[in-house]
Amino acid sequence: MSTLPVRLDRADPRPLGTQLADRVRQLVLDGGLAPGDRMPASRRLAADLGVSRSVVEQAFDQLLAEGWLEARRGAGTWVAGGPGGRAAGLARPARRRTPRAERELVMMDAGTPWVDPRHAAVWRRAWREVSSATPPRGYDDPRGLPELRALVAERLGRTRGLAVDADQVRVTSGTGAGLRHLLAVLPREPVAVEDPGYRAAVATVRESGREVRDLPALEPVHDLAGCAAAYVTPAHQHPLGRVMPAADRLVLVATARRDGALVVEDDYDSEFRYDVAPVPALATLDRERVAYLGTASKAISPSLRLGWSVVPDALLDAYDAHRSLTHDAPAWPVQRAMVTLLRDGYVDAVVRSARRVYAERAPRVVAALEPFAELAGPVAGMYSTWLLPHARAVRARAAAERAGFRVNLLRDYCRTARLSGLVVGFGGPSDAELDQALAVLVSALDRS
- Helix spans in 196-345 (H): 199-207, 246-259, 313-326, 332-343
**Residue 168 to residue 315: CA distance in whole angstroms:** 11
**Residue 252 to residue 282: CA distance in whole angstroms:** 10
Residue with Cβ nearer ligand PLP (180 or 392): 180
Exactly one of 233, 270, 340, 408 binds ligand PLP (CB under 6 A); which one? 233
Closest of 217, 235, 220 to residue 276, by C-alpha = 235
Interface segment toward ligand PLP; rule CB under 6 A; list 49-57, 89-97, 172-180, 216-224? 172-180
Question: Which residue number has the CB closest to ligand PLP?
Answer: 111
Interface segment toward ligand PLP; rule CB under 6 A; list 22-30, 158-166, 168-176, 396-404? 168-176
Q: Is 406 helix (H, G, I), strand (E, B) or coil?
A: strand
Q: How many helices (H) and strands (E) does the chain have?
A: 13, 15
Interface segment toward ligand PLP; rule CB under 6 A; list 39-47, 97-105, 169-177, 388-396? 169-177
**Helix 120-132, helix 332-343: angle, nearest 10:** 130
Distance of closest approach, residue 198 Cβ to ligand PLP, in angstroms: 4
> Does residue 175 belong to the site contacting ligand PLP (CB under 6 A)?
yes
Distance of closest approach, residue 207 Cβ to ligand PLP, in angstroms: 14
**Residue 78 to residue 62: CA distance in whole angstroms:** 14
Exactly one of 60, 268, 319, 405 binds ligand PLP (CB under 6 A); which one? 268
Exactly one of 140, 195, 265, 266 binds ligand PLP (CB under 6 A); which one? 266
Exactly one of 81, 82, 85, 111 binds ligand PLP (CB under 6 A); which one? 111
What Rg do the C-alpha atoms of the chain give, in angstroms? Answer: 29
> Does residue 241 belong to the site contacting ligand PLP (CB under 6 A)?
no
> Does residue 174 belong to the site contacting ligand PLP (CB under 6 A)?
yes
Number of residues located near ligand PLP, criterion CB under 6 A: 14
Interface segment toward ligand PLP; rule CB under 6 A; list 38-46, 145-153, 171-179, 419-427? 171-179
The kind and range of the H/E element at 109 are none
**Residue 392 to residue 420: CA distance in whole angstroms:** 9
Handedness of CA 172, 176, 178, 181 (dihedral sign): negative
> What residues make contact with ligand PLP under the rule CB under 6 A?
110-111, 174-176, 198, 233, 238, 266, 268, 295, 297, 302, 307
